[in-house]
A = this chain, B = another copy of it.
Amino acid sequence: MPTIYDVARRAGVSAPTVSRVLNGLPSVDPVLAERVRSAVTELGYRRNTLARNLRRAQTTLWAVLVSDVENPFFTALVRGTEDVARETGYWVVLCNSDEDLHKEAGYLVAALGEQVAGVIISPASERGTRLAPLLEAGTPVVAVDRKARGAPVDTVLVDNRAGADQAVTHLLEGGYERIACITGPQRATTGAERLAGYKQAFRRRGAVVDQALIRHANFREKGGYQAMSNLLARDPHPDAVFVTNNLMTVGALESISDRNLDVPDDIAVVAFDDIPWAHLVRPTITTVTQPAYQIGRCAGELLAARIRNQAREPVTTVLPTTLHLRESSSARASSRAHSVASFHK
């Protein structure tokens, strides 16, 4: 494997000059630069990234720490980040915290050790996620999807409260009365804020929130299933449910199906997050969708900007959600004929 010295010898220059050409520094004689470039191609020289990393005390890696790689929301998000990374010359290391603070902590330690150029993280916990060591070491960090407390970092979110409020208001206006909420772990801000939006919708209409209809689960299919089963065991059971993420919704729908209940006749469903291939699911599901890919892109751009300028004040970008009305939440039987019609375009 040729080194920078082999190139230098062949081009008749010194090693630092080769380095300058390789890094595109302007202060090099064009003639020498050209000699260097041809020497590089002749020898088939490739820069040793490892040596470069050591010398510069930094890699060209971004660590993206998501809560669940198998959740399509995060996959789409990562795709957005990945595209920005490619455009700006970075690699994306994808890590999966599994909503597990220990696993997450392990990855954060590793990211620090590898001296990654930056970290994008959906914190497993608002308070429990320890970003301080990274920040103290000067590693740029962007929080995504969820807030991180006590750490002034760039953040990309959606307006969870407003999105949830809109979804639940839609149910209230449809005539539903016993509207349950299946939300995520309390330590994640998404779980908390979507629950807050749920409550807000009631309050604005002067309605009372029934705490007995609120469940906290783990953002997974299984958690959604259990929470829904638990809710359906009540008498009377809820006539509608707002589920705060996509995977829990799948579980909730299974539970409803297992009891041979009909959506929306027996129970209406509105979900936060997109359900991939929602158009193939019957009935189709009303959702609050987030611009996942855009969130990832935005986080990537903020990270790239912070790497360029460490001093900049941290910013928080809030992207909008969209309520997609579909069959699972059509208005109650009394007024359904009218409402359903309006859902067909």
Contacts and interface: CB of A to CB of B under 8 A. Distances in A.
Given A79-B70, A281-B277, A92 B93 contact: yes
A100 to B, nearest CB: 12
Nearest to A113: B49
B69 A82 contact: yes
A114 interface: yes
B46 A50 contact: no
Contacts of A109: 46
Contact of A49 (B48, B72, B115, B277): B115
A57 to B, nearest CB: 7
A276 interface: yes
Given A70-B72, A92-B94, A281-B281, A113 B46 contact: yes
Given A46-B112, A70-B79, A253-B280, 9 more contacts: A46-B109, A46-B113, A48-B113, A49-B115, A69-B78, A79-B96, A92-B93, A93-B93, A276-B276
A250 interface: yes
Query: Which residue, A59, A82, A91, has most C-beta atoms of chain B within 10 A?
Result: A91
A233 interface: no
Contact of A70 (B54, B76, B91, B280): B76
A282 interface: yes
Interface of A: 46-51, 53-54, 57, 59, 61, 69-70, 72, 75-76, 78-79, 82, 91-96, 109-110, 112-115, 250, 253-254, 257, 275-277, 279-282
B254 A113 contact: no
Contacts of A276: 276-277
A280 B250 contact: yes
A51 B54 contact: yes
Contacts of A50: 50, 53-54, 57, 59, 114-115
30 contacts: A46-B109, A46-B112, A47-B113, A50-B50, A50-B54, A50-B59, A50-B114, A51-B54, A53-B54, A69-B78, A70-B72, A70-B76, A70-B79, A75-B75, A82-B96, A91-B95, A91-B110, A92-B95, A93-B94, A254-B280, A257-B279, A275-B277, A276-B276, A276-B277, A277-B277, A277-B281, A280-B282, A281-B281, A281-B282, A282-B282
A53 B92 CA distance: 18
Nearest to A282: B282
A27 B279 CA distance: 63
A322 to B, nearest CB: 20
A236 B241 CA distance: 45
Contacts of A54: 48, 50-51, 53-54
A329 to B, nearest CB: 16
Contacts of A79: 69-70, 96
A72 B276 CA distance: 11
